[in-house]
Structure 1
Amino acid sequence: MAQIKGTGILERGNIYFLYRPKVQKEQARGERDVERFYMVLSPEGKNIFREIIIGQKALPGIRKKERNWAFVKNVTRQAKELEEEFGELEYSTKTRGEREVPAARPAGEGIYAIVRHDNHTHLAYSLELPEQPRQVQRALNIATEGSYIISVKNPGKTSPPGTGLKSGQKAGYPQELLAAFRDRRFADADPPELLDYPGTELMLIGAEEKPGEELGIGLSTDKETGASADIFTDLKLNRKEHPVKPLFEGKWE
């Protein structure tokens, strides 16, 4: 059983990565064909799933200390809702008729921890599938393991022009969680319950390639196979509808 041990751990659980090809694309042949890139957090002991959309369609580069926006699109206790979200979609347009959006493709799974470190918080993870990052994972910046400084944006503060969610889309926190911001523009992901609200805006900053050494935690992964992959049992994804080569072989589909 996968384990995460160490001091300063605020939350631990399973992490999943998926991407969706662009409209009318039967398959993606590279990062230019990606419409959306998703990260799903399934925290241990909470029986919830957080669907997070990553900006720029890739994780921020760790070595270059890149930063990237993300936001929580959905929080649910029902994995079925995610299957509806990640499944093939159809919609009508006045000019082009019926349009099809391909189903999302699983691109990685592993374990994660939100960790308090010095005066900030980190999101650290370690992959279980695929065993080694390949073409798809390299394009999406999904490394074997990594760590990002994670900050939560105060929904009451403005964003730079052209960035961030509209006011009606932002998280509606109860007063006890708003207190975590102390009127600042950003707060640490402490408590992690700040991520439990759709519309939560996040900033991820590449921090460490080997989080265990820097954060003092142990990320002990399991050897997963096609039969045991949690992304299908936990998220209830239908293997026939979601091409699996990106997950097991790192090849675009």
Structure 2
Amino acid sequence: MGRGKELDTKSPPDIEIQESGEIYFFYRPKVEKEEAHSSDDIQRMYIVLRPESGERPVEVKQDVNDSPPKTAEGGHGAQEVNIEKQPLMRLIVMGRKSLPDPSKKRGRPSWGFVELVTTNIQDVKDALKGEEYDTKTRGHRHKPPARPLAEGFYRILRHHHTKDKKDDNKKMHTHLIYKLELPSEPESENQPQEALNVENEASFLIQIKNPDPNQQGRTEFTGLKRKRRAAFPAHLQAQFGKLRYHPADPPDFLNYEGCEFLLIAASSDVQEELGLDLETEEAHDHASCSDLVNTFGVGERGSADALPKGVWV
């Protein structure tokens, strides 16, 4: 499957695309749950962003030697990655196990964090696989593997706007927008997609949380413990100043494990909101065409078939 494309239908002068790539969604059933039938059966929802092009072909990520993936403690940026030539994967965990409801514009934000950043696809596959382990209180436990939920393409874009057309002082925020390629409508049932608010397309404001404990302030989101928060390099940390949140500009913020962010529902109609008509390439309805399945595999028998059908597994 392809990267998709955007058609500029209104020639919006206030939008600049910062990063383009592929987006994948997964869910993991709760421990000891062999199948999921509703959102109540979900332990975690994951998003994988794989940037493939952007304003700058080379992005900076934390040095893997500074903070190995197993520690999840963040790290200082020191490794350059040419996203047009190398795979760069960000494994994201959504705290509420769903996306914000796009029908509730500017509703309650959803908190999430970057759990893993890697150039090795196997690292992501390992993070999504199942696990057998023993506990002192409950004995032997089984953590089921994550299941494929949806796949498509995304854009992170810079949006300059003003509430008053007579006001020349424009403010800037950043959006994460996406459009799904699988499951494809109208053939799919979209059971898990509807339960987890994964619409066919959507736009969210994305804000990066300041990891500085002196600037945390009061918030309804407890967030990560201090030792797990991102340790941004000086040039990124300086952009916060005394602010608690900053736009995802540059997207390099997301290249640090422990990066916390908020997603705020903006619209389920990207064309209406931003003037961009997102188009997928030729529709596919077979798992053999799925980049998600081909790249990450599937954790359980039947997962590959469930993806295009849009059913729980």
Q: Which TM bucket (shorter chain)? A: over 0.9
| Aligned partner (choices 131, 141, 158) of residue 216 of structure 2 | 158
Matches within 5 A, 1:84-95: 84-95=126-137
Flag the 1:202–1:241 CA change in 2: closer, same or farther, 3 A. Answer: farther
Moved more, 130-139 or 164-173: 130-139
Flag the 1:174–1:77 CA change in 2: closer, same or farther, 3 A. Answer: same
Over residues 41-69 of structure 1, what are the superposed CA-to-partner deviations in whole Å (9 max), with x where a residue is unaligned? 00014221101111211100011123110
What SS does the corresponding residue of 1:232 show, helix, strand or coil? helix
Over residues 68-94 of structure 1, what are the superposed CA-to-partner deviations in whole Å (9 max), with x where a residue is unaligned? 101100001111011111111111101
Distance 2:301 2:232 in 1: 36
The yes-or-no answer on 1:134 pairing with 2:190 is yes
| Aligned partner (choices 106, 125, 136) of residue 83 of structure 1 | 125
Matches within 5 A, 1:99-118: 99-118=141-160
Question: Which residue of 2 is the match for residue 233 of structure 1?
Answer: 294
TM-score (norm 2): 0.76
Question: Which residue of 1 is the match for residue 248 of structure 2?
Answer: 189
Flag the 1:70–1:227 CA change in 2: closer, same or farther, 3 A. Answer: same
Distance 1:30 1:244 in 2: 19
Q: Please list every run of 5 or more consecutive structure 1 residues that lacks an aligned counterpart in the other structure.
A: none
Measure how far apart 1:241 and its partner are.
5.7
Amino acid at match of 2:303: P
Question: Which residue of 2 is the match for residue 28 of structure 1?
Answer: 36
Question: Which residue of 1 is the match for residue 200 of structure 2?
Answer: 144
Distance 2:35 2:27 in 1: 11
What SS does the corresponding residue of 2:236 show, helix, strand or coil? helix
| Aligned partner (choices 273, 283, 293) of residue 214 of structure 1 | 273
What SS does the corresponding residue of 2:122 show, helix, strand or coil? helix
Question: Which residue of 2 is the match for residue 4 of structure 1?
Answer: 5
Amino acid at match of 2:191: Q
Aligned length: 252
Over residues 101-154 of structure 1, what are the superposed CA-to-partner deviations in whole Å (9 max), with x where a residue is unaligned? 111000000000001112211000000000136111000000010000000001
Measure how far apart 1:183 and its partner are.
2.4
Flag the 1:3–1:175 CA change in 2: closer, same or farther, 3 A. Answer: same
Contact 1:103/1:242 (CA < 8 Å) preserved in 2? no
Distance 2:151 2:116 in 1: 19
TM-score (norm 1): 0.94
